[in-house]
Amino acid sequence: MSQQLISPALAGRLRGLDLVARLVVEGFLTGLHKSPYHGFSAEFAEYRQYMPGEPITHLDWRVYAKTDRHYLRVFAEETNLRAMLLLDCSASMSFTGDPARPAKREYAKLLAAALAYLLLRQNDAVGLVTFDEQPLGFLRARSVRRQLFQVLKHLERLPEGGGTRLGPVLHRVAERIHRRGLVLLFSDLMDDPAEVMTGLKHFRHRGHEVIVFQILDPREVDLGFRRETEFVGLEEPDRRIRTEPAHLAAAYRERFAAWQAQLQRECRRQLVDLVPVTTETPLDTALYAYLQKRRRLY
């Protein structure tokens, strides 16, 4: 296990997702996995300078004849793996139980940026889908160098989402991703577990590998509020309740544990990797959990 490189609070104070992604990834690891997905399409994307020791299959000899320099032709799908990042922007993701911690959506954004940087650095293709109860944005997966800029631009401009209907929206997204690959979902999964699993099973049915980062605030796990508190529904603002959390904490934790156990049980059954993360977890620790999942698979 690496040392803790960057806390969520520090990441939130840094300017620019690109800086956060580079700090987390470059300080943590080099290389990730050997993927079973190989091949490329004939869709030319750009040139890049040839580095000694690389295969010469895609050297452009016409460019060499004109410039006396070696350049490789890079194709849009020249990649080991196609990864789609699915980011939940529903209103519940805006919750934080402590101003010193980032909201769940902010944490998801930082983690998605780090993973996009990591995957693109090793020539994997990365795309992005944002959603609440319906898809909000779709960026198709590509492995070209400028894709990181596109992913980060979309993450910087996340929409303010509304309600949550994970099952139906995941079905709609699954229908749009035709080539099998890796699906990375960032969500609190605050919905009926049966509905959540119907959507995740759709991805598995299509042959995708699925890893779910379930991002929660620590106060959602333990209801650790110490004084009388008014709770307001983020997705239903008219629903409010004022209570002493200490009177409810034991029963709440019991029901939360049962809900979490059901999700974990169903994910194991469907071969979906569920990675629970709280917003106080350093980003490199969450990244390490992802790596361990990948290493067990290859």
String of DSSP letters for 193-211: HHHHHHHHHHHHHTT-EEE
**Tokens at 189, concatenated:** 């999964």
| Residue 110 · residue 87 · CB < 8 Å | no
pLDDT at 19: 52
Domain residue extents for the chain: 8-35+77-297, 44-75
278: enclosing H helix or E strand: strand 273-278
Q: Is the pLDDT of residue 105 over 90?
A: yes
Determine the pLDDT at residue 277.
93
Q: For 47-79, how does the pLDDT look when each residue is reduced to its tens digit (9 = 90+)?
A: 667 666 666 766 777 777 778 777 776 554 444
pLDDT tens, position by position, 111-158: 998 888 888 877 889 999 999 888 999 999 998 878 988 998 898 888
* pLDDT the model gives residue 78: 45
**What pLDDT score does 268 carry?**
92
Residue 224 has pLDDT above 50, yes or no: yes
- The better pLDDT of the pair 89, 298 is held by 89
CATH class of 8-35+77-297: alpha beta
At position 254, the amino acid (one-letter code) is: E
Residue 31's pLDDT band, with cuts at 50, 70 and 90, is very low
Q: Which residues, 6 or more positions from 123, have their beta carbon under 8 angstroms from its beta carbon?
A: 78, 79, 80, 143
The more confidently predicted of residues 28 and 168 is 168
Q: Over range 74-86, report the average pLDDT.
A: 71
